[in-house]
Amino acid sequence: MSIFQREREIITRNEFVDNFDFIEIEEFIKSADKNLFISHHFKYSNKMLVQPRGGFPTYEKVFKLYEEFLQAGVDVLPLTIDSNTRLNDYATAGKMLALSEEDDVDMLNGYPLINHGYRTTRKMMTHFNKPVSLRHGTPDARLLVEMALASGIFEIEGGPITYLLPYSKNFPLDKAFLYWKYVEKLCALYSTYNEPINRESFGPLSATLQPPVIVIVIQLIEMLLSLEEGVKSFSVSFSQSGSMIQDIVTANVLMKMAHRYATEFGYGDADIHLVYHQWMGAFPYNKEYSDALITASTVIASMVKADKIITKTRNEAFGIPTKEANARAVASVQYTLKTLKGLPVVKDEEEEEHLETMVKDIMEAVFNDSADTLWRKVFNSIKNGIIEIPFSPHIINANEVITARDPDGNIRIYERGKLPISDRCFEYEKSQIKIEKGSSVVEKIIKDIGIML
């Protein structure tokens, strides 16, 4: 038995897991319907795929949610995991699930997949026969991903950085890298059985004034770490910034660099897709404005030529959306995609060059770290602030970079911290930010966070 298989045996055996049958799972994946694989749809569909977010504690509620989504014309189903499971606290998740089942009140903000198990969950996935995307935010997702793949969920979101820096306070970063290496290996292994398993990075990060350069660097790194382990289908992603042109520039640079680095590192055969997240920051408390925000965001997703869009709902500011609100957003986004025609191809060569230069500067600095493997170089780079994300709750994050918006809504770097970007680039960035006289930077930032309110 390989070391990896030995590790798998250990991971999948604990008091919350009921007998993991690897042979049966392999058989299942080998004979699974192609429709369950998003990688298959990416290949053959010529429209932007629409995927909502959503998850409820109980099986029945998720089932009803999926029925509602299907009626609304969904392309990709989501399975969002609750926060306790994300933190591997299966005991609490189990307790809350029991309470939710008893009282018909949701005591969890997502689906506790471990507690439900793959045998139960797979019934639902094969019943609906749609590609499903696992959304979690878990630094140690080894068991979760085993469970997901065994259930017929063939897209796995996340990554060692994107599911750690925004989602955790003190989970050790080096552990996260190793745990995700396991996930990548697993996805690579299962990709050899049937259509490839798709891995997707989580570009929105903390969804709060994230500068594109950081988003892109992190997307590229997680892509490379994944392709290194043999993954063949990967989605880079980012979320609406608040400026249409910045989104376009980000998409153009991100896709260009993703292809370039993939080829350079010898993974030219992998498929790379672009995912756009509708506005991930604070939503307005007015549902009609939220509808408008969702549509405007759909138009921008079309401008950036995303392969998949992940939707929000008119309930975002209030709480976990009802299934009706969620399905409504899907139907509305599909309507907009269907009726929106004649999209121009937009470029901004100067801004793209500027952004590309900054991305290269940081990537170079990472590659130049003296460690032996890519993940260790990245680990060191985060530790010493060469990479950091604004508004991360994590203790390892440098918290020195400060960003704010220019008058066009573009997110610019106000303090660069230890980001290794050139003085020229930094001066350009900083000079774009205009702070009104008599106003403080903090006031400006609060306004810039609440740009959609």
Partner 1 sequence: MRVVTGVVGNDVHVVANRLIEISLKERGFDVYNLGVNTYLEEFLDALIETDAELLLISSLNGEAEGWCRNLKALKSKYNFRSNPLFVIGGNLGVGEMDPDALIPKFKAYGFDLVYHQKDLNESLDEVEEVLKQRIEV
70, 245, 317, 374: residue in contact with ligand B12 (rule CB under 6 A) = 317
Of the candidates 67, 168, 81, 76, the residue with the CA atom closest to the CA atom of residue 127: 67
d(CA 423, CA 237): 28
Report the number of secondary-structure helices (H) and strands (E) in the chain: 18, 10
Is 219 or 392 the residue whose CB approaches partner 1 more closely?
Answer: 392
Kindly list the distances between the CA atom of residue 224 and the CA atoms of 258, 284, 358, 377, in Å, as whole numbers in the listed order.
9, 37, 18, 13
411-415 and 402-405: which strand pairing? antiparallel
Q: Under the criterion CB under 8 A, does residue 446 sit at the interface with a second copy?
A: no
The sheet with strand 308-310 has its strands ordered as 49-51, 308-310, 271-277, 233-239, 198-200, 155-157, 132-135, 77-80
Q: In sequence order, what DSSP letters do the residues of 275-291 get, joined into one string? A: EEE---SPPPS-HHHHH
Question: Least distance (Å) from partner 1 to the CB of residue 84?
Answer: 6
Q: Where are the alpha helices (DSSP H) in 45-141?
A: 59-71, 83-86, 90-103, 113-116, 118-128
> Rounded distance, CA 165 to CA 159, Å?
10
Write out the binding residues for a second copy, residues 338-397 only, by CB under 8 A.
339-344, 346, 348
Q: Does 391 bind partner 1 (CB under 8 A)?
A: yes
Residue 180 corresponds to which tokens in the numbers above?
A: 């995700």
314, 330 Cβ separation under 8 angstroms: no
CB of 90 to partner 1, least distance (A): 12
Contact status: 443 vs ligand B12 (CB under 6 A): no
What whole-number distance in Å separates Cα of residue 99 and Cα of residue 446? 38
Considering only residues 261 to 290 of the shown chain, the ones binding a second copy according to CB under 8 A are 284, 286, 288-289
Task: Identify residue 74 by its one-letter amino acid code.
Answer: V
Least distance from a second copy to the Cβ atom of residue 130, Å: 22
Binding flag, residue 320, ligand B12 (CB under 6 A) = yes
Angstrom distances, CA of residue 367 to CA of 125, 361, 370, 398:
41, 10, 8, 19
Nearer to ligand B12, 208 or 241 (CB): 208
Q: Least distance in Å: CB of 453 to a second copy? A: 9
Q: Is 102 a catalytic residue?
A: no
Judged by CB under 6 A, the residue of 33, 260, 367, 393 near ligand B12 is: 393
Could you tell which of a second copy, ligand B12, partner 1, none binds residue 80, using a CB distance below 5 to 8 A set by kind?
ligand B12
Q: State yes or no: residue 85 binds a second copy (CB under 8 A).
A: no
Instruction: Give whichever of 170 and 407 is closer to a second copy, judged by the CB atom.
Output: 407
Inter-CA distances, 414 with 214, 382, 432, Å: 14, 19, 9
Of residues 161, 170, 243, the one with CA closest to residue 202: 161
Q: Where are the beta strands (DSSP E) in 147-255?
A: 155-157, 198-200, 233-239
Residues near ligand B12 (CB under 6 A), total: 25
Size of the site for partner 1 (CB under 8 A): 34
Amino acid identity, position 296: A
Binding mask 197-236 for ligand B12 (x = CB under 6 A): -------x-xxx----------------------------
239 forms beta bridges with 277
User: Considering only residues 78, 94, 152, 166, which one is a binding residue for partner 1 as defined by CB under 8 A?
Assistant: 166
Tell which one of 138, 336, 381, 392 touches a second copy (CB under 8 A): 336
From 189-197, 268-276, 295-303, 316-324, give the range in contact with ligand B12 by CB under 6 A.
Answer: 316-324
Residue nearest to ligand B12 (CB): 319
Output Rg (C-alpha) for the chain, integer angstroms: 21
- Yes or no: say if 426 and 413 are a contact pair by the CB < 8 Å rule: yes
What lies within 8 Å, CB to CB, of 198 at 6+ separation is 37, 38, 39, 42, 154, 155, 156, 233, 234, 235, 273
Work out how close the CB of 296 gets to a second copy at its nearest, in angstroms, rounded to a whole number.
5
Q: Is 86 a catalytic residue?
A: yes
Does 298 contact a second copy by CB under 8 A?
A: yes
Q: How far apart are CB 162 and a second copy at their closest, in Å? A: 24
In the bound complex, what is the minimum distance in angstroms from residue 340's beta carbon to ligand B12? 18
Residues forming the site for a second copy (CB under 8 A): 242-248, 284, 286, 288-289, 291-293, 295-296, 298-300, 328, 331-333, 335-336, 339-344, 346, 348, 408-410, 451-452
Residues forming the site for ligand B12 (CB under 6 A): 53, 80, 83, 86, 109-110, 137, 166-167, 204, 206-208, 280-283, 315-317, 319-320, 391, 393, 449
Q: What positions carry a catalytic annotation?
A: 86, 157
Residues forming the site for partner 1 (CB under 8 A): 83-84, 86-87, 89, 92, 96, 99, 106-109, 166-170, 206, 208, 282, 285, 315, 317-322, 391-393, 442, 446, 449
